[in-house]
Structure 1
Amino acid sequence: MNRITKTALVVATFFSAPSFAGYEVQIDDTSKLTFGGYFKADLRNVSGDQAYRDFWIGSSTGVPDTNKTSIQARESRFNVKYSNGELAGFLEYDFYGSDGNALVSNSYEPRMRHAFISYKNWKVGQTWSTFMPLASIAEALDFGGAHVGQVFIRQGQIRYTNGGLELALENPANATDDNQSIPDVVARYTFKGDFGQVAVAALARTFDDNGVAGHADGTQLAYSISGKINTFGKDDFRFAYNAGAAGRYISPGHNAGDKVNADGSGDLLTTQAYTVAYRHFWTDDLRSTVYYGHSEVEDFNGVSADSDRNHYGINLIQQLSKQLSVGVEFGNYDADISATETADSDYIQLSAKYVL
C-alpha cells in the first residue's frame, strides 16, 4: 500500500470516528498514530479584590470590587503521537493563545504545549520541565490547581532517563538578560512502590550579568521534594515542597523577572513554595479533592518585605461515564499586591469534561 493510500485511510478513519473518540490507528507493522486530548467547558465566577483570571497563577493584580463571570472552553486540547518502534513524536495544542474577540466570535489562537521526539532513553523538544513534579499536582477544575505553590513550566530540553533517574539540559531563558549561555541543569530521582511515589530534584541555573547591576550572576540552586502517596482505598495524598533560587520556575508569574537581592551579590531572591492535596472517592464515580498552595518570595517588595500568595480549593466531581465528568469547585486566592496591602477573591467554577 502506498503512502498516499495509507494517509487517506487514516484521515477517513479519523474523521468518521463517532464523537471524535480517542484511539490508535495502525499504519503498518511498526508504525501507528494515537489521537488524544479532551473537551472542557467552564463556567467561572470570580468576586473580590483580585482581578479575574481563567485560572490562578503566581502573578497578582488587585482590582477592587471584582465580580466577573465567564463561560469558555479554552482549556480544551488535542494531541497526536506518531510511533515507529522505539521512536515517537508527540504534539499537543490547547487554546490559551492570544485572546479572541469576546463580542462576536470568541475565537482564540491555538497554543503549542508539547512538541518532542523520544527515542529509547532520550527525549528532545518542548515538554514539562524535568524539575516539575507532575505526580503531586492536585486534581482541580481550576486549570492546574494551586500554581502558586508549584513548579510549573514547559520548555525546550534534552533529557536522559534511566529507571528512576532523569538528567536534563533545559532552555536557559531569562527575562532580564539575553546573554545566559549555559543551559539550566536538572537532576531528578523518583522512588516508586506500592506506597505510591516520592521524588527529589535539583536545579542549577548559571547567569552572567555582563557587569550590569541588578542582574543575576553566578550559579543559582534550587530543589524540590514531592510525592503522591496511596492512602485508603483509591484515595491519595499529594505534596510538593519547592525552595531555593529558582526564579521563574517556582510559582509561575511570581518572580517571572528573576529579581535579585539588593545586596549586589547577583543572587536570585529565595522562593519557598508548597502544595498539599487530598483526594477522596465517595463512590467509584464520585470524588473530591481539597488542596492548598502557598508561595513566598523573600524581599520581593523591598528589604524585609516578602511577597506571599495563597490558593485553596475544594471540589466535587461526578464521573457520568468513562469519558464524561462534571464538577463544581469553590476556592479562594489571596496575594500581597504591595508591601502593605493584601487582596483576595473567591471563585466558583462549574466544569464539564469529555476525555477522548
Structure 2
Amino acid sequence: MFSDYSNGAPDSSNLSRQFYVPGTIYGDTSNGNQVVDFQARETRFNFKTSTDLDGHKLTGFIELDFFTHGDGNERVSNSYSPRIRHAFISYDNWTVGQTWTTFQNPGALPENLDFVGAAEGTPFVRQTIVRYTNGGFQFAIENPETTVTPNGGGARITSGSGMVPDFVARYNFKTEGGAKFTVAGLARQLNVEIDNLDTQEIGYGVSFTGVIPVGDDDIKLSATAGDGLGRYMALNYANAGVLDANGEIETISSYGGFASYRHWWTDQWRSSFTLSGFKALRLTTMKH
C-alpha cells in the first residue's frame, strides 16, 4: 500500500497504516509524508456449520483476522494476535451473537481496495446482538456503548454503564428491476456513570442504502443522519455527545453518505469510483 499524508505520516504501528480511519488522518508533522506498507494482517479464517433439527435450521459461524492489534511490530517477526470478527448462531429467524449491526447494510459497501473503503460515509459496527428476521423486516436489540467528549475538550470518555440496549429496526426490499434497498432506524440511550457523573440522553438515527443495477454495472449509495449516533458512523470519528458545564450530555448531530459506481470492463476486470463525506455538529441548547 502506498499512502501520501499531506500533514505527515503516522507511525508504522498506527491503526491508519492498516486501513483508512477518518479519525486518524491528521498524521504527525515530524514524519515524512509518503510511506509504503506490506502486511498480511487482512488474512481471514472462518468456519461455518449448518444443521437440520427436526425441520429447523441451526447455523453457527465464527471468523477471525489479525487487524487492529498493536501487540506486534514490523522489526523482526510481524507477529500479531488473531481477533474475533463474527461469532454467532442462527436458529430459524433468530440470530444471537456478534456480527454486523442491523443498522448497517454491508452488502451496499463500495468495492474499494481499502479494507473499509468509504469509512466516513457509512455506519460500520460489529457487536453482539439479538435479532429477529421476518421477510424483509428485521428487529434487534444490540450492545450499548456511549462515547462523549468532556466539557472543554479532551480525551474521549467511553461508558459501558448503560442498562438499556440499543434498538434497531430495518426493512429490506427490492424492485422488479433488481435494485435492492434498505431503510433502518436506530434508537439508543446515551448513558454516562463515571466518578461523579450520572447523566442520560436519547440518541437516534436513520439510514438508507441502495444497490442499483446499471446494465452490467451498478451504483451503490448510502445516506445516514442522526442525533447522538456517535460510534455508529465513520468509525466513531465524532462522539455521541459533549458534556456541558452541568455534566449533562448535549448530543452531536452527524450526517454521512457515499455514492459509488462500479464498471465491469471484462468478466475479470472492474473498477470503482467512490465519493464519500461526513459532517458532525453540536447543537447547543439553553437550559433555565
Normalised-by-shorter TM-score class: 0.7 to 0.9
Give the match for residue 192 of structure 1. Answer: 174
Task: Give the unaligned 5+ runs of structure 2.
Answer: 11-15, 148-157
Aligned 1:21-32 pairs, distance under 5 A: none
**CA-to-aligned-CA distance 1:300-324 (integer Å, 9 cap, x gap):** 9xx7xxxxxxxxxxxxxxxxxxxxx
Q: CA–CA distance in 2 between the matches of 1:216 and 1:284?
A: 56
Seen in structure 2, the aligned counterparts of structure 1 residues 51 and 298 have a Cα distance that, compared at 3 Å, is farther
Q: CA–CA distance in 2 between the matches of 1:267 and 1:216?
A: 10
Q: CA–CA distance in 2 between the matches of 1:207 and 1:229?
A: 35
Aligned 1:16-165 pairs, distance under 5 A: 43-49=1-7, 51-52=9-10, 53=16, 54-60=18-24, 61-64=26-29, 65-85=32-52, 86-99=57-70, 100-165=72-137
Tell me the C-alpha RMSD between the 2 structures: 2.3
> What SS is found at the alignment partner of 1:135?
helix
**CA-to-aligned-CA distance 1:41-61 (integer Å, 9 cap, x gap):** xx3333422534221123123
Q: CA deviation at 1:209?
A: 4.3
Q: CA–CA distance in 1 between the matches of 2:191 and 2:43?
A: 40
Q: 2:103 is aligned with what amino acid? A: F
1:242 is aligned, of 224, 230, 233, to 224
1:179 is aligned, of 152, 158, 161, to 161
- Greater relative contact order, per chain length (Cα 8 Å cut-off, separation 6+): 1
- Does the Cα contact within 8 Å between 1:135 and 1:227 map onto a contact in 2? no
> What SS is found at the alignment partner of 1:248?
helix
Seen in structure 2, the aligned counterparts of structure 1 residues 280 and 95 have a Cα distance that, compared at 3 Å, is same
Give the match for residue 331 of structure 1. Answer: none
Q: 1:98 is aligned with what amino acid? A: H
Identity among equivalent positions (%) equals 37
TM-score (norm 2): 0.82
1:231 is aligned, of 211, 214, 236, to 214
**CA-to-aligned-CA distance 1:147-191 (integer Å, 9 cap, x gap):** 011100100000000111010000002243332110000000011
Give the match for residue 275 of structure 1. Answer: 258
- Does the Cα contact within 8 Å between 1:200 and 1:226 map onto a contact in 2? yes
Give the match for residue 221 of structure 1. Answer: 204
Task: Give the unaligned 5+ runs of structure 1.
Answer: 1-42, 304-356
- Does the Cα contact within 8 Å between 1:117 and 1:124 map onto a contact in 2? yes
Seen in structure 2, the aligned counterparts of structure 1 residues 223 and 215 have a Cα distance that, compared at 3 Å, is farther
Q: CA deviation at 1:192?
A: 1.6
Give the match for residue 308 of structure 1. Answer: none
**CA-to-aligned-CA distance 1:261-290 (integer Å, 9 cap, x gap):** 748662420000011100001111110000
Segments of 4+ moved more than 4 angstroms = 209-216, 261-265
- For these two proteins, the number of residue pairs brought into alignment is 257
Seen in structure 2, the aligned counterparts of structure 1 residues 212 and 206 have a Cα distance that, compared at 3 Å, is farther
Seen in structure 2, the aligned counterparts of structure 1 residues 261 and 58 have a Cα distance that, compared at 3 Å, is farther
Q: CA deviation at 1:195?
A: 2.8
Seen in structure 2, the aligned counterparts of structure 1 residues 216 and 202 have a Cα distance that, compared at 3 Å, is farther
> What SS is found at the alignment partner of 1:223?
strand
